[in-house]
Amino acid sequence: MKILDEKSDALLKRAARGDELAFLALYQKHQSPLYRYALRMTGSPWAAEEIVQEVFLLLIREPHKYQSERGELGAFLFGVARNRVMKHLEKTPRELSLDVMNSDGSTWREPEDPLTPMIIVEKAERIERVRDAVLGLPAEFREAVVLCELEEMSYEEAANACGCPIGTIRSRLHRGRALLLAKLELLRDVPRRAAAGGK
């Protein structure tokens, strides 16, 4: 679709003038990663939905807040989403959602491959376990794990997204990994390297 090939700046200018197609093109391009990030950080589909909505409402109401010379639109939107996520986490510290439902009310989607029911159940358990373990990390470590491991960002990209030096991201990721390992090994009853998390 031609409109999707347009640069974000041009689309944003059109959207600011009320062009619905341009706005939707921007929304479709950016909403999914923002939603996933918010969901993985908050563990709440409702909170993630609210955060994504607030991010794009800001784009509608105050498009001038984005200045193209300061970076990509995606990075700006991520920064806004990150602020909202952090505010949410401040309000509800250490809130662990055990909700296994997707935002649309469905359960976790499984890849459509010919697996036996046992394998499917086992996979679902592993996913839930790791999801809960990630949500149980302190926010800054969780963020590093979400960005570098789940969103597969490079250290540089994650550092830009968080507005901190690469060394800080590496350090947080190291701590996050150690804690994650400890949690999951304890859950699996194989405390081989549980002590590593305590360093």
Partner 1 sequence: MRNPEKPNKVIGLMNCEEFELRGLDLDRLDLDPIEAESAAEHARICTNCGALLESWREVKSDLRLLREATRKDSAPARVEVRLKQELRTRREARVPLGTVAISAWALAVAAVLIATVSWIGWQRTRHQETSTQKTTPASAPTQNAERPDATVSQASTASTPQADPTKRSDTAHFAGSSAVSKGAVAKDEDSGKFTLLPGSLLSETEETAIVRVRMQRGALGTLGLPVNEERAGEWIQVDLLVGNDGLPQAVRLAR
Contacting positions for partner 1 (CB under 8 A): 15, 18, 20, 23-24, 27, 31-32, 34-36, 39-40, 48-49, 52-53, 56-57, 60-61, 102-104, 108-111, 123, 126-127, 129-131, 134, 145, 149-150, 152, 154-156, 170, 174, 177-178, 180-181, 184-185, 190, 192-193, 196, 199
84 to 35, 53, 87, 113, 193: CA distances (angstroms): 12, 11, 5, 37, 35
Task: Output the smallest distance, CB 73 to partner 1, in A.
Answer: 16
Task: Output the smallest distance, CB 9 to partner 1, in A.
Answer: 18
Task: Output the smallest distance, CB 95 to partner 1, in A.
Answer: 19
Q: Closest CB to partner 1 among 83 and 154? A: 154
Task: Output the smallest distance, CB 108 to partner 1, in A.
Answer: 5
Q: Closest CB to partner 1 among 11 and 52? A: 52
Q: Closest CB to partner 1 among 123 and 139? A: 123
Q: Closest CB to partner 1 among 23 and 78? A: 23
Give the CA radius of gyration of the chain. 19
Tokens read off for 142 = 């969780």
Interhelix angle 45-61/73-91, nearest 10 degrees: 130
Q: Is 10 exposed, middle or buried (0-12, 13-18, 19+ CB in 10 A)?
A: exposed
Task: Output the smallest distance, CB 109 to partner 1, in A.
Answer: 6
Q: Closest CB to partner 1 among 11 and 39? A: 39
Beta bridge partners of 101: 107
Block residue for tokens 């030096």:
165
- Distance from C-alpha of 148 to C-alpha of 63, rounded to nearest angstrom: 29
- Distance from C-alpha of 144 to C-alpha of 170, rounded to nearest angstrom: 8
